[in-house]
Amino acid sequence: MLETIHDQLGENESLLICCTKFQPECRNKFPDITIKKIPKVLLDTCEFDHDDYSLNIVSVPAIKDEEWEELETGGE
């Protein structure tokens, strides 16, 4: 599976994979893929087996195209 993921990464891309278990030989298999174990303390704070993970998102104000372009170019 790591080889498939590695093949899909672009030349200047990297990926962090966080999981509960992995085979030790996978840790350094590819330089652009970092594998870390999720600490149990963090897992204990997560909620699992929910059908709905809705987020309470506040409405974002509408921004005109010109304003987006200004934000992207840094106001130049």
Mean pLDDT of 51-61: 67
Cα(12)–Cα(61) distance, integer angstroms: 33
Mean pLDDT, residues 55-76: 63
Q: Which tops the pLDDT comparison, 22 or 65?
A: 22
Q: Residue 6 contacts by C-beta under 8 Å, 6 or more apart in sequence?
A: 29, 30, 32, 33
- Give the structural domain span for 31: 11-47
26 close to 35: Cβ distance less than 8 angstroms: yes
- The pTM of the full predicted model, rounded to 2 decimals, is 0.55
Q: Count of domains in the chain?
A: 1
In a domain? residue 55:
no
Task: Note the pLDDT tens digit of each residue in 2-24.
Answer: 999 999 999 899 999 988 888 98
Within-domain flag for 20:
yes
- The answer to whether 19 and 38 are in contact (CB under 8 A) is yes
Q: How far apart are CA 21 and CA 31, in angstroms?
A: 19
Give me the pLDDT at residue 67, please. 61
Rounded Cα–Cα distance for residues 3 and 1 (Å): 5
Residue 60 lies in a domain: no
